Amino acid sequence: MSRNPNRPLSPHLGVYKWGPHMLVSILHRVTGAGLATVGAAALVWWLVAAASGEEAYESFAGWAISWPGVVVGVGLTWAFFQHLLSGLRHLVMDIGAGFEIQGNKFWATMTMAGALLLTAALWLYIAMERL
């Protein structure tokens, strides 16, 4: 692409000092992309396996409770809660609130802490109820 040298260059990622607000913004996109691909595939696999009969469902369930399956499952639930909480933060910012620097950084940090906490709570509950 040709560039008019008379126009200023927009500053890019490299010039900014890292903060929780930047990390959470990138996490929102990364977790969204992960959920949209791996998560959606898992959802379709689960439903199609259930519709295909007991044997297909056993094959899905075998993967789901295997070690790689549990790692992907924990990863997907963390991605889900991170995307959910940072998404709620975006909805607040969309109405023009939450831009004060201290509050903005605080809630950015809170989405990350909350996602880890909710993921741990969910899997602790599953482990206690189902095992």
Partner 1 sequence: MSVDTAKTGEPGASPMTDPAALETPLARARGLGSAREGAEHWWHERASAVAVLLLFVWLIVSLLRLPALDHRGVTEWLRDPLAAVPMLLLIAATFWHLKMGLQVIVEDYVHDEGNKFLVLLLLSFAAIGGAAFAIFAVLKIAFAATGLPR
Tokens of 61: 């369930």
**How far from 91 is each of 20, 31, 106, 107, 114, CA to CA, in Å?**
18, 17, 16, 13, 17
For the segment 28-67, give every residue that binds partner 1 (CB under 8 A).
29, 32-33, 35-36, 40-41, 43-44, 47-48, 50-54, 57-58, 61
From 5, 14, 68, 96, residue interacting with partner 1 (rule: CB under 8 A): 96
Tokens of 34: 């992960």
The C-alpha atoms of residue 6 and residue 20 are separated, in whole angstroms, by 34
Q: Does 128 bind partner 1 (CB under 8 A)?
A: no
Interacting residue ranges for partner 1, rule: CB under 8 A: 1, 29, 32-33, 35-36, 40-41, 43-44, 47-48, 50-54, 57-58, 61, 80, 84, 87-88, 91, 94-96, 99, 122, 125-126, 129
